[in-house]
Amino acid sequence: MGELEQKVGRAIRHFWRTREVQEARQGGTDKDMDRGYRSAVTGGAQLDGFADLIRELLVDNGIEDSAIYRKKDVVLPGFYRPTKEWDLLVVINGTLLATLEFKSQVGPSFGNNYNNRTKEALGSATDIWTAYREGAFQESQKPWIGYFMLLEETQKSLSPVGVKEPHFPVFEEFKSASYAKRYEIFCKKLVRERLYDAVCFILSDKTEGLNNGRFKEPSPELTFRRFVESLTARALAFSKYSDKA
């Protein structure tokens, strides 16, 4: 395992430890069994390990730390809505260089959350690209847009899921596809349709992730390494151009 993969493993452990703490604080009763899950979903901070790692890589590739925004001043104008908060922004002297969205999904409601995640990702991409086209970011070059997704690896997320076809057949790749496979297909299409410059999709079992930071990357197109290589290449190119300007 390389150095980058080791750092990803530490971010995985941070994710699961943070969730455990948030779930324990919220508690839960037999009357409200998914209360702890809702708390962890809304509590934030689970994916901070990945955001911190990306910040580190950006700084290593010539981006000033002061140009990287997390949790504060992360609002951008939209086209279909006034504003949207992103998870990480890189803004240098009025130029929007990059923006990233970090998402995760842990059971038990894989179906509903999958639909919500797909709608969010599609809507965010459509909104920001239209805003860019209409000059919302002034004289910025085309920004780099990234999407990160971590899915819990469980029997339920890996099991085939049926589809309903009362009028027309669904696309063949979705038939009997598990939620994990659906996410993989979705993430590939986000890149191939150029809605995002890069997408990372990671699977992690809670026990193995918590104990030793293990994770899986089901597609070579969607690895964390490829994700950050795309981002840091843009950062490095921008830094070299700025130095010569």
DSSP per-residue string spanning 182-200: HHHHHHHHHHHTTSSSEEE
Q: What is the pLDDT of residue 239?
A: 77
| Cβ contact 224:202 at 8 Å | yes
| Cβ contact 70:50 at 8 Å | no
Q: What is the pLDDT of residue 241?
A: 66
Torsion of CA 129, 42, 184, 48, to 10 degrees: 80
List the alpha helices (DSSP H) in the chain.
Answer: 3-26, 35-43, 48-60, 110-133, 155-158, 179-192, 206-212, 224-244
pLDDT in tens, 202-217: 999 999 999 999 999 9
pLDDT in tens, 20-33: 888 888 765 444 44
Domain total of the chain: 1
Domain hosting 191: range is 3-244
Backbone dihedral angles phi then psi of residue 154, each to the nearest 5 degrees: -140, 170
Enumerate the β-bridge partners of residue 144: 98
Query: What is the model's pTM?
Result: 0.90
Enumerate the β-bridge partners of residue 103: 149
Burial code of 153-173, b = ≥16 C-beta within 10 A, e = fewer? bbebbeeebeeeeeeeeeeee
* Residue in this structure with the two tokens 């981002």, named with its chain if needed: 231
| Cβ contact 98:231 at 8 Å | yes
What angle (nearest 5°) sits at the alpha carbon of residue 103, between those of residues 186 and 174? 20
Q: Give the closest residue to 152 by CA, choosing from 196, 105, 111.
A: 105
**How many Cβ atoms from other residues are within 10 Å of residue 192's Cβ?**
10
Rounded CA gap, 151 and 185, in Å?
A: 13
Number of C-alpha atoms within 13 angstroms, CB side, residue 146? 30
Q: Residue 44: is its pLDDT beyond 90?
A: no
Would you call 72 helix, strand, or coil by DSSP? coil
Mean pLDDT of the 155-182 span: 95
Peptide bond into 108 cis (omega under 30): yes
Least confident of 38-52, 131-145, 149-163, 228-242: 38-52
